[in-house]
Structure 1
């Protein structure tokens, strides 16, 4: 069972129908019957689909990473792959947030709108969000972030969906399997068979529920927010979308075209199934099973590379989210009447890039990361409340960008590995 063109078409139809129906219902959102349909039909359908996908995320990540590490076969090759992967992710994230800052400085979305800081959204966000787990995440130190990479309790890490800790444990298992591979033929076969079962379940969910699930998720998002929410923050919305488009076409296009030596249109066309699911779910982790299947079967990325690079990227590589942070930071600074210095802009780039790894396991990671960035440059994180109304709509787009970056880097590393093997084979001959 594979993700085919027909399934992609059905998902796209579901997305379009959700946007149309949700936008129509948004004009009548004060009606009781509309609220009932949104809560008990759109939301239930969407959340059931999301829950089915999330149900499979931990098994997919754990089994994929173990097999990916084992299939690399050589600890030295694995170390090289890991270093290259992290380096690519950090560089593209830094470029993404730099593009965002430049776009926001050019178009100045916050000029003349300082009254937004006096709205109820700011005080409500301060009272409801900047406490508890979110507040703790903002204050978390670098040393504690490093310590938290290794799980003290593997089962707790899996129960709380702490992806960084799950990945760390899976890498240990994979390396150990390489070391004793002559003695564990049955264990390897067990993981391979488990992978087949898990992917069958995932693709069955996609085949029978993806289109209606996408419809429900997008319909409820547009019913609650709608295009009306964009009007007041129109320039901010446009700046984020513009920066996402520039990064998608210019950076990913160049990476695929010049480093992987593949046509970018070919890449986009073949990766479209995963991008459509990412748009509807707004979660890099939720779309990971489809992203892996699409990359391996449509982009011809070997499993040993895809299974290592993409799960890691879904956890730590957030170019789309970084773009939102860059635009939002400049936007909030302009609302506050503050001109960011060069030093502060550099701080934004550095903090956002490092935070993309440090807060990967925190729910609502995008806004938590933004709060960390704002705090680092002396801006009030409560101002995030201003953009929350349209963040759900932007989250769909930036998630699609996030997972596309993961696949682009996986493609580059796969092609580099292939060319290296061809050179070595030529030397031997």
Structure 2
């Protein structure tokens, strides 16, 4: 008897079932779907369409963003214990003091070199494309205080008003009051404290350190379990945050400063290509393998604009790429706090953009100072949304560049923040795969 072919409705139902199973088993596909749907809904609710009143659209946007805020709050709740326990555990499992020094020196060299290259790329692109000259004269009038609330709307960063303050800045890195640093969410202080505790643990007898390390392992496991719960909200978080962003910004803002946005995106693309090249040449990890392993990770970083918020996922991605657990637990938290090459590139373009807007010509020496300052500032900047704007204002003011043009930068900062965060997270993963050979279980090349 010949086998009967399935009816078309049955075939369609079977294909739908396969598609549903494919999407539900892949977080990156869910996140991508949420991003696309959120973008479309944001366009429908934007002021340009006129489908709803702006006040009503704003209320809808707030409710749409609720899952995203809950997602970020859950991550923020466990972020400090997760960072502390992962760094301490990573240091204790890094092996001998010589191996530990090797990891630290290689990571420091990677961060310093890539951040310097990134800032230089930003300067070169801004000098070549000159995105601010097309809008020359914009800054003749004063900025709208409602749009540029530099005191209230932007997170605080350490002041950089004079070179004489540098010794104080170095001393202030040490968490003299660890409890206050934890309460205030000072990630750099928490990282420094974890580094000091982790190094000290490696020099204590195993018997005495064992209970403390067992506690750190339990804290890390509990924190990662809460992160696993939060990941169920990730697609809905991306959907709501994307819809709110597109609804508020619209296409008009993007079209008005396409030169500036294009310069930053071109620079980030160049930096991303550099990361891919480094991973391929020095770690034998192909771009395809890297993107395949980190797809959902990078989409989450793009949507949340926070390398710290997605740090637990980045650790898991590093493990997928064959990075030993002790190296991943050490390198990724440090990278999420200090590896901000994408931010340095963005700030370099923005500084020269502001100078071109105001008609200020910077000398080669001044540009070199800008690069050095941005490298130092980016390495110590928290991996949270908006903090780069505060650094940008400080550097521009110190260089005598008017900041009235910040109105333009603030209009698209959220979008560019999303892009540079994804690049920063890629840099963290590349750093991890570069340092995996220091671990105990090197992996096969891709």
TM-score for both structures, normalised by structure 2 = 0.87
Max radius of gyration: which structure? 2
Kept in 1, the 8 Å contact 2:268–2:345? The answer is yes
Give the 3 Å change call, closer, same or farther, for CA 80–214 of structure 1 in structure 2: same
Kept in 1, the 8 Å contact 2:178–2:193? The answer is yes
Structure 1: how far apart are the matches of 2:321 and 2:383?
Answer: 28
Deviations, residues 267-301 of structure 1 (Å, cap 9, x unaligned): 121111210110110011111111111111x2111
Does 1:33 pair with 2:60?
A: no
Give the 3 Å change call, closer, same or farther, for CA 134–380 of structure 1 in structure 2: farther
Match of 1:426 in 2: none
Give the 3 Å change call, closer, same or farther, for CA 131–55 of structure 1 in structure 2: closer
Deviations, residues 30-70 of structure 1 (Å, cap 9, x unaligned): 4332222112x123222112111111211110110010011
Match of 1:209 in 2: 233
Cα RMSD (Å) = 2.6
Helix, strand or coil for the counterpart of 1:112?
helix
Q: Say which of 57, 61, 64 aligns to 2:79.
A: 57
Cα displacement (A) at 1:385: 2.7
Does 1:273 pair with 2:296?
A: yes
Cα displacement (A) at 1:131: 10
Cα displacement (A) at 1:101: 1.4
Give the 3 Å change call, closer, same or farther, for CA 419–341 of structure 1 in structure 2: farther
Gaps of 5+ in 2: 1-23
Cα displacement (A) at 1:420: 9.2
Helix, strand or coil for the counterpart of 1:338?
coil
Q: Higher helix proportion, which one?
A: 1
Q: How does 1:5-24 map to 2 (within 5 A)?
A: 6-24=26-44
Q: How does 1:19-418 map to 2 (within 5 A)?
A: 19-26=39-46, 27=48, 28=50, 30-39=53-62, 41-118=63-140, 121=143, 123-124=145-146, 128-129=150-151, 134=156, 137-139=159-161, 141-178=165-202, 179-206=204-231, 208-249=232-273, 251-296=274-319, 298-360=320-382, 364-415=386-437
Deviations, residues 245-269 of structure 1 (Å, cap 9, x unaligned): 11101x1012101111221221121
Kept in 2, the 8 Å contact 1:125–1:382? The answer is no
Gaps of 5+ in 1: 423-429
Give the 3 Å change call, closer, same or farther, for CA 389–266 of structure 1 in structure 2: same
Kept in 2, the 8 Å contact 1:270–1:299? The answer is yes
Structure 1: how far apart are the matches of 2:153 and 2:77?
Answer: 28
Helix, strand or coil for the counterpart of 1:381?
coil
Question: For this pair of structures, how many residues does the alignment match?
Answer: 416
Give the 3 Å change call, closer, same or farther, for CA 93–30 of structure 1 in structure 2: farther
Kept in 1, the 8 Å contact 2:385–2:417? The answer is no
Structure 1: how far apart are the matches of 2:238 and 2:442?
Answer: 41
Moved over 6 A (4+): 130-133, 418-422
Structure 1: how far apart are the matches of 2:339 and 2:435?
Answer: 15
Structure 1: how far apart are the matches of 2:380 and 2:435?
Answer: 24
